[in-house]
Chain A
């Protein structure tokens, strides 16, 4: 606890100074965390490390995945170099302690945003915008002809025991009065082996997990995800409450990735877009977004062109999604809830104004 207090101290002192009459000169509040990262020259990013599509190590030794790309974007925005990241594999039990003790600067580790994790009286995290809306789904063989939860009535369903997955399944089926037989297994491997062995007509887990597992099936095309989503799992990068300025910076870097997709800015055309913004004085939105005019970067304690650096490093959100978990990856996940708001999804950046 004392470390929260210590790291919050300079920020609050600065706040007091501002209150006492030093007129804010348009500059942002300097984050101690950001100063530490810049001093160190390296962002320490907590990842899962063993999650298909989200974070894993390539044969070349490089980290890769959707969570990893968020780390890269933040490093590029803060330090100007996406390779200046030290990745820490964290398991679910130590991730919050590692963040609270300051061992990692940023947690980009498929963490579900919940009230108790956000609240100051709980884990005291500060969540960035959600980068992947996951949810519990159901996988069935195409040949079974099942198209919704009702079709599972009276059928055996494979599920890992002792997980929230098992509880969610029970809740949703009870709500809709669908009788079913849960077949419970200790590990994920056993659960899927039983499903493939034909012991149940369906298997349930998080949709991203199901999609990952499906690619390892002998015949992936013979299995399909039901459209029903049984729980909300907003997977979200997080920092702590101890340094609001740092949390703001991360939040707006992620928003920048969202906005870039909405504005049609990609890794490929970013240089052209910057040139266009510089050339055309009437494109006020674009000029502000790319840091050609205005002081958004300064307000956040970031370089003026932090969005340009982030998008150059990782691409816009759509590119990150497609490359790691979408059509260009082995997982082939549908965008679903992760579409832009204009396309009926939940990806929505507040205005850069």
Chain B
């Protein structure tokens, strides 16, 4: 308490001028906060978000097939909890070795509070509220179990763990889109947060390998490969994303006969992928440039082939250096998906605009846009937190942290 007062005094009230500025700023901030709270609690009509919560979540996904999305969410919750627990059960040297570091306890508390309050605030039916509570309980239980017993798993099983996520992604695709005995749900019916996350995760996953190949191509000694990569990267970076999206939507229909052109959702997802790959290539290139030449030479002199040296020595170091830039790219990719609404897809923003056009909710723009901002902030914050945790884990020089 004493130190807090001392710090406040030295940082905010050091001189009379400082004090005046501080008080003025605090007054303005307090007034803004009071105004916002008054609006949010008294004037805003949140029915527009409550009534349309399903639309915001999954768009026009058929109601009778939505159990598939619940199943997918259940699998995701279990996998997330288990992965989280396993990571804590295998502390590397960047970890204090604690099973429940302070940040984790905080995260679980936030998660539980959110799962209790959000479904209630959205006015969901008790049955659906209960589902969200059970999902959160499942995640926390999986986290606890994996943390408690994860270290004791047989090694053969542990080696299988990294492929859980790719498999889960494919399973998710089947659950969402249908196939293998499940009724098909056309991409045109995907929407809301589901479409936003699907399009961005698809683009993030695929742009990484393409970007790495392009970066390697740009540094290659073969002129054709090098110039090809340069041409591609500079062409994509020279065109705004929205023009490329329009190009994808409008030109393909003319080039390919009706049935052959991929669905417009996939067209957009591929355009996003190819767009992000060009930017990612430059981030990876900066990482490659940061790896000293001696590393490659040393690896080669140890008898590794060029490919082995690249894969085992150069790329791991390069990607680690490029990670912050890459994650920045991923976050902006996630936000770029809002452009899908301009080509008529019902992503989060598209659904929001359609909801605002419902005569029953005309003029409720502020409520809808604020909800959108919060949703996007949560997604981007999760990406950012995940990447920082990854950075810490990959950093060989990091001192053991105490969090």
Contact = CB atoms under 8 A, between A and B. Distances in A.
Contact of A102 (B61, B253, B264): B253
Interface string A172-211: 0000000000000000010000000000000000000000
B63 A216 contact: no
A289 interface: no
Q: Which of A52, A60, A101, A329 has the most CB of B within 10 A?
A: A101
Contacts of B232: none
Nearest to B48: A59
Instruction: Tell me whether chain B's interface is mostly helix, strand or loop, or mixed.
Output: helix
Nearest to A48: B357
B360 interface: yes
Given A56-B354, A88-B188, A89-B350, A61 B343 contact: no
Interface string B316-356: 00000000000000000000000000111110001101111
B355 A57 contact: yes
A90 B344 CA distance: 5
B166 interface: no
B249 A59 contact: no
A57 B358 contact: yes
A97 B359 contact: no
Contacts of A100: 254
B91 interface: no
A212 B258 CA distance: 37
A59 B52 contact: yes
B54 A61 contact: yes
B95 interface: no
Contacts of B346: 49, 57, 89
B209 interface: no
B358 A58 contact: yes
B51 A91 contact: no
Band of interface residues on B:
35 or more
B360 A330 contact: yes
Contact of A56 (B54, B258, B358, B364): B358
Contacts of A144: none
A11 interface: no
B4 interface: no
Interface string B87-108: 0000000000000000000000
Band of interface residues on A:
35 or more
Given A59-B54, A91-B344, A50 B353 contact: yes
Interface in A26-52: 36, 49-52
B60 A57 contact: yes
Given A61-B61, A86-B186, A98-B253, A212 B55 contact: no
A94 interface: yes
A86 B357 contact: no
Nearest to B362: A216
A93 interface: yes
B365 A189 contact: yes
A43 to B, nearest CB: 13
Interface of A: 3, 36, 49-53, 55-62, 64, 86-91, 93-94, 97-98, 100-103, 189, 212-213, 215-217, 329-331
28 contacts: A49-B344, A49-B350, A49-B353, A49-B357, A52-B358, A52-B359, A57-B346, A57-B351, A58-B358, A59-B52, A59-B54, A59-B355, A61-B59, A62-B60, A86-B188, A88-B188, A88-B264, A89-B350, A93-B246, A94-B343, A97-B250, A98-B250, A101-B250, A101-B253, A103-B258, A212-B362, A330-B360, A330-B362
Given A50-B353, A56-B359, A93-B246, 19 more contacts: A49-B344, A57-B346, A57-B351, A57-B354, A57-B358, A58-B358, A59-B54, A61-B59, A86-B186, A86-B188, A88-B188, A88-B264, A94-B249, A94-B250, A97-B250, A98-B250, A103-B253, A216-B363, A216-B364
Interface of B: 51-52, 54-55, 59-63, 186, 188, 246, 249-250, 253-254, 257-258, 264, 342-346, 350-351, 353-360, 362-365
